[in-house]
Chain A
Amino acid sequence: MNSSSRFFYHSARLVLGAVFIYASLDKQCNPWAFSQAVYNYQVLPDALINLTALILPWLELILGFCLILERWMMGASSLVAILMTIFMGLIIFNLARGLDINCGCFSTNPEEGPMDKLTLARDGLFLCLALGLAALTLYKKNIYNKNQIV
Chain B
Amino acid sequence: MPTVFRQNLMKALQEACFIILLAVAAGLAVNLTRTDSIPFVQDWSAESRLSEDDGNSLAISLPEAEALFRENKAVFLDARDKALFDEGHIQGAKSLPWYEVDDYFQQVVPGMDRETPVITYCDGESCNLSHELTLFLKNMGFAEVRVLVNGWTVWTENNLPIETSDK
What is the bound-complex CA distance between A29 and B30, given in angstroms?
Answer: 11
Known A139-B5, A141-B4: A46·B42 in contact at CB below 8 Å: yes
Known A75-B15, A76-B15, A139-B5: A50·B23 in contact at CB below 8 Å: no
Count of residues in B whose CB is under 8 Å from the partner chain: 46
Interface of B is mostly: helix
Are the CB atoms of B42 and A114 closer together than 8 Å?
no
- Asked if B108 is at the interface (CB within 8 A of a chain A CB), the reply is no
- Asked if A110 is at the interface (CB within 8 A of a chain B CB), the reply is yes
Which residues of B are found within 8 Å of A100, using beta-carbon distances? 80-81, 99, 122, 127, 129
Are the CB atoms of B19 and A59 closer together than 8 Å?
yes
Interface of A is mostly: helix
Are the CB atoms of A74 and B11 closer together than 8 Å?
yes
Least Cβ distance of A122 to chain B in Å?
18
Among the 9-residue stretches A8-16, A32-40, A84-92, A124-132, the one with 4 or more Cβ atoms under 8 Å from chain B is A32-40
Known A55-B28, A141-B4: A63·B38 in contact at CB below 8 Å: no
Least Cβ distance of A16 to chain B in Å?
14
Which residues of A are found within 8 Å of B31, using beta-carbon distances? 31, 54
Are the CB atoms of A62 and B44 closer together than 8 Å?
no
Count of residues in A whose CB is under 8 Å from the partner chain: 41
Known A58-B30, A72-B19, A138-B12: A51·B80 in contact at CB below 8 Å: no
- Asked if A107 is at the interface (CB within 8 A of a chain B CB), the reply is no
What is the bound-complex CA distance between A61 and B24, given in angstroms?
Answer: 12
Are the CB atoms of A51 and B16 closer together than 8 Å?
no
What is the bound-complex CA distance between A46 and B122, given in angstroms?
Answer: 21
What is the bound-complex CA distance between A76 and B17, given in angstroms?
Answer: 10
Question: Besides A50-B39, A54-B40, 5 other CB < 8 A contacts?
Answer: A31-B31, A75-B16, A75-B18, A110-B128, A111-B98
Binding site for B on A (CB under 8 A): 31-32, 35-36, 39-40, 42, 46-47, 49-51, 53-59, 61-63, 66, 72, 74-79, 100-102, 110-111, 113-114, 137-139, 141
